[in-house]
């Protein structure tokens, strides 16, 4: 069993865990490395894992009727990523999950996660809080999407995720913002000259 320390530290930012609880968790997780561009899930698959990112960046994206990809979220160090709906229903999902950098992750399968929820009720609390935090982030983003221009959304993104702003290709950022790479390029040009 590889080191699960990053996941335990993550949990312990919310609540303390005993040695026995940590041992239980250790027995139910899988740590692995994945390559750039590798897929953890494709649209139509059933999402079999909750994935925690130790190192690297992943994206979740959907594909519209015209075949275009649209980034729904990025997950970097300390983030969780999963097609929650597919994971809990054990039915095919609409999301794709792919690594944008060579990454190191910890995965938990459905059975194992449910086993942990039953045996460590505290984990319900932890996942409740984690999900609430992510929910608030999505609400903020929706407010941006319905109230702001592409420029404003780009500035908000840079402010909120400064590291991702420099780590990710602009095509990926444009896809996340809901604009074309060409238009993002225009925005960036005006930011440099006009400021």
Partner DNA sequence: CGCGACGTTGATTTGCCTCAACGATTGTGG
Partner DNA sequence: CCACAATCGTTGAGGCAAATCAACGTCGCG
Q: In this structure, what DSSP letter does residue 180 have? A: -
Query: Cα dist. 172→28, 122, 165 in Å?
Result: 33, 36, 10
Per DSSP, the three-state class of 53 is strand
Query: Cα dist. 107→52, 80, 170 in Å?
Result: 6, 10, 28
Site string for DNA, 31-50 (x = CB under 7 A): -----x--------------
Instruction: Tell the smallest beta-carbon distance from residue 81 to DNA (Å).
Output: 19
The contact set with its own copies (CB under 8 A) reads 62, 64, 68, 70-73, 84-85, 88, 117, 121, 124-125, 127-128, 131-132, 134-136, 138-139, 141-143, 145-148, 175-178
Stretch that binds DNA, among 11-19, 79-87, 91-99, 144-152 (CB under 7 A): 144-152
The residue within the footprint of DNA, chosen from 5, 149, 163, 191 (CB under 7 A), is 149
Instruction: Tell the smallest beta-carbon distance from residue 35 to its own copies (Å).
Output: 26
Query: Cα dist. 106→20, 109, 144 in Å?
Result: 19, 10, 32
């Amino acid at each position: 069993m590889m080191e699960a320390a990053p996941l335990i530290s993550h949990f312990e930012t919310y609540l303390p865990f005993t040695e026995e609880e940590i041992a239980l968790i250790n027995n139910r997780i899988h740590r692995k490395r994945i390559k750039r561009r590798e897929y953890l899930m494709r649209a139509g698959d059933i999402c079999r894992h909750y994935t925690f990112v130790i190192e690297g960046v992943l994206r979740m994206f959907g594909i519209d009727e015209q075949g275009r990809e649209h980034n729904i979220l990025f997950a970097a160090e300390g983030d969780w990523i999963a097609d929650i709906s597919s994971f809990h229903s054990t039915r095919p999902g609409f999301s794709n999950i792919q690594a944008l950098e060579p990454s190191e992750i910890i995965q938990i399968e459905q059975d194992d996660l449910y086993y942990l929820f039953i045996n460590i009720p505290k984990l319900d609390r932890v996942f409740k809080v984690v999900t609430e935090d992510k929910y608030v982030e999505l609400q903020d983003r929706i407010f941006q999407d319905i109230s702001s221009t592409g420029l404003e959304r780009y500035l908000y993104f840079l402010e909120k995720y400064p590291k991702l702003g420099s780590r990710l290709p602009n095509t990926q950022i444009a896809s996340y913002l809901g604009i074309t790479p060409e238009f993002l390029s225009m925005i960036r040009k005006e930011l440099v000259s006009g400021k």
